[in-house]
Structure 1
Amino acid sequence: MDWKPDRNDKKPIYKQIVEYIDQGISSGLFPADSLLPSERILAKELGVNRSTVVSAYEELQALGIVERKKGSGTRVSTDIWGGSHKRVPNWGRYVEDGSFLPNLPLVQKIRTEIQNNNLVNLASGELSADMMPTEAFQNIFSSQPFLESLGYDHPLGNKALRHTIVSHIREYKKIDTDASSILITSGAQQALHLIVECLLKPGDAVAIEDPSYCYSLPLFQSAGLRTFLLPVDKQGANPEDLLALHKKHRIRMVFLNPDYQNPTGSVMSISRRKKFLELSTELGIPIIEDDPYSLTSYNGEVNPTLKSLDTNGNVLYVSSLSKIVASGLRIGWIIGPPQVIQRLADAKQQVDFGHSIFPQWIANEFLGSEYIHSHIKLIRTQLKLRRDEIVLSLEEIMGNQIEYLNPAGGIHLWCKIDPSINKHKLLEESIRNGVAFVPGAILGSQKGYVRFTFGRGEIGLIRQGVIRFAEAYCTVKKD
């Protein structure tokens, strides 16, 4: 047998053997009823353990491709193409071969655990139910007649909503734009996905913050992009690092989250914001500004966004209602040059034929009412209470075992812990103890960090979550 498994391939060797034999059967290399090599002989030929071959043959048998009989060996099924034999597609191979990569295993585990168990949830990046404007929505439903068409809406999104967003961001964020420069998306994540898929090509180099939410997204790797990291400190990412990266790698795009950054909670200084814009103009590098949190500032002061400072049209601005109104509403938007917005809108039309009218209608009614003003005041007050509870609890319960930047807005607390602690064991033990968090390795390259998200936590339960985490921490540290 000339073929050998590729030991540098991330795919398990037994899976490679399954695919090789399956393809050989399809091509006629291994005819129906032919005897395949014994487990011992094939293991020797391929230079693998016999157990690896056993696993491969067992999977082939489960798929109905081969028949195994003790004392007779392993044969290709005699009815592999017959009418009585129903061959099951190798779904495992299809799942692995898809070009869009799955979430990291740790991310999948956290999501599964918080859905299936009654945990103190310090992992999910959303508001708690008591901060969502349920009563205001009910009032809108009962007092405002729904008169919108139920057909496909405008490719850019509902026109009334886009005009309302123009007024909203002018009032709160000092961004001047018009409705033709706005695309409504299914949250900020779809916005990022559209930008990556439509404006970049495989092999392009992009810069993302380290740590950052973008670090956890497989969409960059799925698109074949090369990602380079911009370290984040108390003043956010440093534009000098972008300049250094560009000289080496010719950066095509940079992704920034300047206000109450996820996960560090840091705020980019005004001088750095201006320098990033200068570099963008000088080097021709577009900036993607992700701004989910700027309105959550606890003192009510909103920093100037990069987009509000942008006089050359270099910034694509992404925001949503997920972190300030309701995550399930799935209303986000991109603001940029009309030709870019049209390109992204065309792609969105290919995916979903445009956004559902119902969430757009309620979002328009809510943003255009007095409810939004009182609601923003509410979430600022409530988030500060939750921030204070988690900070005080960590100080009292964990003391100098943990370090963090005390955020002035947002919903995240980025904590430094002992880097020698195994992140998998800590997460497992914490979940057993009844609390979920996000290991720092999901969000950044440095070891020894965890992210607590307090926006979802309930007053009183946040402290209980810290107690449970501290117990898990001590248990793992002793091991």
Structure 2
Amino acid sequence: MNWKPDRKDKKAIYKQLAEYIEHGIIDGTFPLDNPLPSERKLAEEFNLNRSTVVAAYDELESNGLIERKRGSGTVISKDIWGLTKKRIPSWNRYVEAGSFQPSLPVVQRLRKETEDQKLINLASGELSPDLFPLEYMGKITSTRTFVGNLGYDHPQGNQILRSTIAKHVKKYKDIEIDPSSILITSGAQQALHLVVQCLLKPGDAVALEDPSYHYGLSIFKSAGVRTYLLPVDKDGINPDHLRKLHQKHRIRMLFLNPAHQNPTGAFLSVERRKQILELSSEMGIPVIEDDPYSLTSFSGEKTSPLKSMDVNGNVLYISSLSKIVASGLRIGWIIGPKPVIERIADAKQQVDFGHASFTQWIANEFLDSEYFDVHLNNLISKLMQRRDQIVTSLRSTLEDHVGFHIPQGGIHLWCELKKEYSEAKLLEAAIKRGVIFVPGLTMGEKKGFVRFTFARENEKNIERGIKRFSEAFFSL
């Protein structure tokens, strides 16, 4: 066989191989009465991974060109021209042709690895089960009677819950809002997806923080929008950078995580907040404020979001209970101008016919109870202890090989590693030693950074996890 895969071609290697075999069947290179080469032989012949050959044979089998027979190997279909054989759809082609883009391969890998309960998890951006208010939820469900409609609820979400959220954001975040300007969503992720799908069109330019959780989201690519990055320092983004970016690319929307930003922990200064709102009004750029962490401020001081300073209605405010109560409740919300909320609510109805009534009821009862403040104070105290532990562990194990800003809230710590290394090799070395983290390149363009989440593990496991990470780091 004189064929070789073209590794510079954008076409996947398995597809090249499938096409080569298909042409070989047609021109007689592979006779109809002989078995095709085994997966192992083809892998050795062309210096390919066996999984690549398997994918190529899957493609040919789905197209009805070959058959796999136990004990006989892989043979060319006797009904190759499809006269009697029922054809199987080429699912690989459908998977690749879909308009909704898959997550980055590294992100998919992290998601699978975090399912391994044996790994110390410093990657998942959620609370550990022992931080969930299970005791209080148990009291609510055992002592109170469910009040609600088990049928489809209001398109914007349960009216009682929206009224409770209006009181909640007024008390804790200084946001004055009518319940009719609130939409209940399945967490902040769905809120972001709906905003992008409903308010932007292909080719629109949006600005994201760099680094940022938003950087790795496929929703922007799927919508066909162009993303431009704004560097983040300890005080958040620089408004001057936004002005220059808008002059060059005509930014249509700005996405911000101003309080204890994911992943840097940065807190957008009050002065910069004012400047961003002024620029938003001057240039007509809507601001999407994603606020999962402001209630976790370790100082105990109230943190007022951009939305509380927004007198012109330029800010769409997104928040949820995922990072302060429980991610499994899937309760988030969008606050904004009524026409926008009604537009997005219509889209949500098309997707899921509205949010689940029972979880809305539980969320309402908990937010409106005396348990909420008790839980929040306990959560902040435990997160501080875990933050302090990860800082201590990093300093003792990596010393001057690591640099970081100590976050004053939230659940993440952003580290710069002061050594040349391969992100892929470091991740593999860490997983091999039983700990997982988030490589920095999944959250921005800069190399040499990692994100640790300290909300998922207790102090003892954090200490063990950082020790294992340091062993992986020094092994490279």
How high is the TM-score relative to the length of structure 1? 0.89
Counterpart in 1 of 2:131?
Answer: 131
Which amino acid in structure 2 is aligned with residue 448 of structure 1?
Answer: G
State the shift of 1:421 in Å: 0.7
Determine helix, strand or coil for the equivalent of 1:318.
Answer: strand
Q: Cα gap change, 1:52/1:464 in structure 2, threshold over 3 Å: closer, same or farther?
A: closer
Alpha carbons 2:297, 2:409 under 8 Å: kept: yes
Aligned residues: 451
Q: State the partner residue of 1:66.
A: 65
Corresponding residue of 1:346: 346
1:164 aligns with 2:155: no
Q: Describe how 1:280-319 pairs up with structure 2 within 5 A.
A: 280-319=280-319
Whether the 8 Å contact between 1:14 and 1:52 is mirrored in structure 2 is no
2:382 pairs with 1:382: yes
2:65 maps to a residue whose letter is V
Distance, in Å, in 2 between the alignment partners of 1:82 and 1:8 is 38
Deviations 1:310-330 (A, max 9, x none): 000000000000000001110
Q: 1:420 to 1:135 in 2, by over 3 A?
A: same
Q: Following TM superposition, by how much is the alpha carbon of 1:87 offset from its aligned partner in structure 2, in angstroms?
A: 1.5
CA contact (8 A) 1:205 1:252 kept: yes
Q: What is the distance in 2 between the residues matched to 1:475 and 1:423?
A: 13
Match of 1:47 in 2: none
Distance in 1 (alpha carbons) for counterparts of 2:118 and 2:47: 39
Per the alignment, do residues 8 and 340 of structure 1 end up closer, same or farther by CA in structure 2, a change over 3 Å counting? farther
Counting only pairs closer than 5 Å after superposition, residues 231-380 of structure 1 correspond to structure 2 as 231-380=231-380
Counterpart AA for 2:312 = N
The structure-2 alpha-carbon separation of the partners of 1:21 and 1:104, relative to structure 1 and needing over 3 Å to count, comes to: same
**8 Å CA contact 2:404, 2:415 repeated in 1:** yes
1:211-232 deviation line (CA, Å, top 9, x unaligned): 0000010110111010000000
How far apart in 2 are the matches of 1:80 and 1:295? 65
Q: What letter is aligned with 2:298?
A: Y
- One-letter code aligned to 2:82: W
**In the alignment, which residue of structure 1 is the partner of 2:152?**
152
Contact 1:181 1:335 in 2 (8 A): yes
1:38 is aligned, of 26, 29, 35, to: 29
Give me the CA root mean square deviation. 2.7
Cα deviation 1:370-395 (Å, max 9, x = unaligned) = 11111111111111000001001111
Structure 1's 6 and 120: CA in aligned 2 closer, same or farther, altered over 3 A? closer
- Alignment map for 1:176-255 (pairs within 5 Å): 176-255=176-255
* Post-superposition CA distance 1:196-252 (Å, at most 9, x none): 000000000000000000001011011101000000001001111111111111000
Contact between 2:119 and 2:431, CA under 8 Å: does it hold in 1? Answer: yes
Distance 2:342 2:419 in 1: 46
Asked if residue 78 in structure 1 is aligned to residue 69 in structure 2, the reply is: no
Distance 2:100 2:131 in 1: 34
- C-alpha contact (below 8 Å) 1:175/1:307 kept by paired residues: yes
Identity of aligned pairs, percent? Answer: 56
CA contact (8 A) 1:114 1:436 kept: yes
Cα 1:203–1:19 change in 2 (3 A) is farther
Name segments (4+ residues, structure 1) moved above 4 Å.
Answer: 5-9, 16-22, 50-57, 74-77
Q: Report what 2:417 is aligned to.
A: 417
The answer to whether the 8 Å contact 1:403/1:417 transfers is: yes
Q: Cα gap change, 1:9/1:271 in structure 2, threshold over 3 Å: closer, same or farther? A: farther
> Does the CA contact (< 8 Å) of 1:255 and 1:287 recur in 2?
yes
- TM-score between the two structures when normalised by the length of structure 2: 0.89
* Cα distance in 1 between the residues matched to 2:400 and 2:112: 32
Shift of 1:408: 0.5
Return the alpha-carbon distance in structure 1 between the equivalents of residues 169 and 224 of structure 2. Answer: 34
Gaps of 5+ in 2: 31-44, 69-74
Per the alignment, do residues 139 and 67 of structure 1 end up closer, same or farther by CA in structure 2, a change over 3 Å counting?
closer
Tell me the secondary structure at the aligned position of residue 152 of structure 1.
coil
Quick one: distance in 2 between partners of 1:386 and 1:340? 39
Equivalents in 1 of 2:127, 2:251: separation in Å? 35
**How far apart in 2 are the matches of 1:253 and 1:469?**
38
The answer to whether the Cα contact below 8 Å between 1:80 and 1:87 also exists between their aligned partners in 2 is no
